[in-house]
Amino acid sequence: MTSASDSISSTYRASDGAAYERFLGRWSRLLAGPFAEFARPPTHGRVLDVGCGTGSLALALANRGAPDRVAAIDIAAPYIAFARSRPESTGIGFAVGDASRLPCADGSFAAAMAQLSLNFVPDAAQAVREMRRVVRPRGVVAAAVWDFRGGLVFQRLFWDTASGVDPVAGAARDRLFSGPLALPDGLPALWRDTGLATVERGSITIRMEYADFADYWEPLLGGQGPVGAYVGGLPAEGRREIEDRVRAAFLSGAPDGPRSLTATAWAVRGIVT
């Protein structure tokens, strides 16, 4: 079987905020609280959420203090529009912008944080240098990325199954799972290389609760991220075959119904000197 295209772009497809929220936003909300606890941003001063998506981390940060302390930026205008539309986002400064060229003054934040975004930035080192630049001395720079290779069951289930059918899926999986930031020492090494001090590494595990296979599969059809780009590019017959194989893996010989899948992210925290 071959897909409609010969390769899957490494660029994150980000065209629909509501579709992203159903695909991943409901899980990034669960990660945001523990990530904020790990990052321990200062209680005074503004906090910047870099690559904010539909606003999960920004909302969690706002719940820990005054919403007007929180600013958030993402390059995807549809995600920013969705974040701004959320009733609970009042007071948070959501803006469209590039993580590699932050439109912020030097030292204007007490902390900068990036959740599940740095591995999709073309130049992650430049983005971290920008985060460091906009944070005042002794401020916090922190990030979290999925442990694609060893800790993200819902994507391993999909990509490993699809790779047994379609070599294009295997190539896409290998690019995602071998990315340096998804490896245990990837984030800490980047933090040290960009001059951040007192670097701490951690891991955060949440559980993804699916009502049934439809609750797992249908969000993948919304076209967001590498999974959405891959599924959206499949011809109808190929998509049905992948769906059947993934369903069998999801069910694993048991009746359809609830499934609880773990998802682990690597996290890092550093201090601006």
% of the chain with per-residue pLDDT over 90: 92
Residue 3: predicted pLDDT: 36
> What digits encode the pLDDT tens for the residues 206-243?
999 999 999 999 999 999 999 999 999 999 999 999 99
Residue 186 has pLDDT above 80, yes or no: yes
Query: 91 in the Ramachandran plot: left (φ > 0), alpha (ψ -120 to 50) or beta?
Result: left
Banded model confidence at residue 5, pLDDT cuts 50, 70, 90: very low
pLDDT above 70 (res 7): no
Domains and CATH numbers, the chain: 17-271 (3.40.50.150)
Mean pLDDT of 166-188: 94
Convert the pLDDT of each residue in 128-142 to its tens digit: 999 999 999 999 999
User: Distance (Å, rounded) from C-alpha 92 to C-alpha 65?
Assistant: 11
pLDDT value for 150: 93
220 vs 67, more confident? 220
pLDDT beyond 80 at 1 = no
Q: pTM above the 0.85 mark?
A: yes
